[in-house]
Amino acid sequence: MQKIIILDANAILRYIIDDIREQADAVEEILQNEEVLILPEVMAEVIYVMTKYYNYPRDKVSEYIESFLDDADCNSENLINAVKSFKNENFDFKEL
């Protein structure tokens, strides 16, 4: 039976932002060699941190996360569509 790795927000942020190289490399290794599960709640936290703490604009957040989901071989259409909508729609993650 193949194990499935669930990445937390910190792991995803380290990979996307690449501010702690060793951790980003470890996440990259996981993405290349393991099956990963990306939970919508975790992605909401990533978006919140990127927009509110790191002050990334919505279009950049969407771009970075879409790229991450591609790297993670994410096949959740709902999650992918939500991230794409985030760029242009007027909804906010601040009330989570």
pLDDT score at 80:
81
pLDDT > 80? residue 29: yes
CA gap 55, 3 in Å, rounded = 35
Domain-by-domain residue ranges, the chain?
Answer: 4-88
pLDDT score at 96:
40
pLDDT digits over 32-80, tens only? 999 999 998 999 999 999 999 999 999 999 999 999 998 888 878 888 8
pLDDT score at 83:
81
The distance of Cα 11 from the centroid of its chain, to the nearest Å, equals 9
